[in-house]
Amino acid sequence: MRYNLSRHELLDHWNDQLNFIQSSAKIFDEGNENEARRIATSLRIMFHETSRSHSLFKQLNLNHNFFLWSSGDLYTPSNLLSSWVLLQLNRNEEGLFYSPLGTSSKRTFFLNYEDWWNEVIFDDKKNVFTRKDIVTFVSNQDGGAHVDKALDGKYAELVKHNSLGWTDGEGHPIVNNPAYNAIRQIALEVLISQNKFNNGYLNRRKQKGRTFEMRFFDKVRRFKWSTTEITYSNETLDIVTQYSKESRTLYIQEYNDGFKVELVLR
């Protein structure tokens, strides 16, 4: 006879994954970027939903009150160059390298699970990649929980062949893995989101006169957009309006510790 885990037991598993992420993040920050593979496996357990495997997030029914920090700058597909919203570029004696964005974005938003998990975080002008894409590529193919002899083509282009296209002044490609550094940033997003959830919120108020929406590449992949919150050209608007949209409402949410965030909800 099968044994059904209690909510308390599921929460123990959730907290275990958070502890694993914290431990691996520390090792990553000490210089072992391959630790992103372990982080990706924990993120997959927590958030990846399939017809045969249910995420801890959904099993705990957190989708109604646990909001996830989208830490990157606002993205638009009208950019002529490739885009990454969770990373920054730095330089050392070996050349240019990616590092996680940290908390340096000037304006960020908290999203519901579907918008956060399926938000575009890379665009190499051939393919776009969401958090879900990057987490599952790293965990399912690139050594997290499984190693595939042949990587998915578009993921291989991203991490093996510099499809983002950035080089230093002498034409040398960036020396480290953009996907692994994005995984580290996603780990930070989850840990901060958990901290806000633990604090509990006091109140929420709608921001009047402000519009917000999600624009869709397909039925799943999406990006944040607003005609009142983003500075854009007519050419950019022409491009963006080619994508289907779903309206969202923009709120200010205040937590018990006095912290306020911008929250985007259906």
Average pLDDT, integer, range 242-252: 97
pLDDT at position 7: 96
pLDDT at 93: 80
Q: What is the pLDDT of residue 199?
A: 92
Residue 234, pLDDT > 50, answer yes
Minimum mean pLDDT range among 4-8, 20-24, 73-77: 73-77
- Judged against a pLDDT cut of 80, whether residue 16 lies above it is answered with yes
Q: Give residue 116's pLDDT.
A: 98
pLDDT in tens, 126-142: 999 999 999 999 998 87
Q: In the structure encoding, which two tokens stand for residue 263, read together?
A: 């929250």
Q: Which two tokens stand for residue 165?
A: 């296209």
Buried b or exposed e, range 240-260, using 16+ CB within 10 angstroms: beebeeeebebbebebeeeee
Q: What's the confidence (pLDDT) of residue 150?
A: 56
For the stretch 88-123, pLDDT in tens is 999 888 889 999 999 988 889 999 999 999 999 999
What lies within 8 Å, CB to CB, of 4 at 6+ separation is none
**Full 3-state SS string of 168-181:** CCCCCECCCCHHHH
Secondary structure class of 69 (helix, strand, coil): strand
CA–CA separation, 59 vs 11, rounded Å?
10
Give the residue, 229 or 20, on which the prediction is more confident: 20
Task: Specify the pLDDT at position 153.
Answer: 85
When pLDDT is cut at 50, 70 and 90, the band that residue 145 belongs to is very low
C-alpha–C-alpha distance, residues 201 and 151, integer Å: 43
Each residue's pLDDT tens digit, 183-208: 999 999 999 999 999 999 889 999 99
101 against 230, higher pLDDT: 101
pTM of the model: 0.95
| 19 phi, psi to nearest 5 deg | -65, -40
Give residue-wise pLDDT tens across range 51-93: 888 999 999 999 889 999 999 988 889 988 899 999 999 988 8
Closest CA to 134 of 84, 169, 176, 172: 84
CA quadruple 188, 246, 136, 74: dihedral, nearest 10: -40
Pull the structure tokens for residue 19.
Answer: 């502890």
Q: What tokens were used for 54?
A: 């249910």
Q: Which pLDDT score, from 0 to 100, does residue 73 have?
A: 84
**DSSP assignment of 202-265, as one string?**
EEEEE-TT--EEEEESSSS-EEEE-TTTS---HHHHHHHTTSEEEEEEEEEEEETTS-EEEEEE
State the Cα–Cα distance between residues 91 and 168, nearest whole angstrom.
9
Mean pLDDT taken over the chain:
92
Using one digit for the tens of pLDDT, what is the confidence trace for 160-184?
888 998 888 778 888 899 999 999 9
The answer on pLDDT for 237 being more than 50 is: yes
pLDDT for position 166: 86
pLDDT average, residue stretch 13-30: 98
Tokens of 51: 């017809």
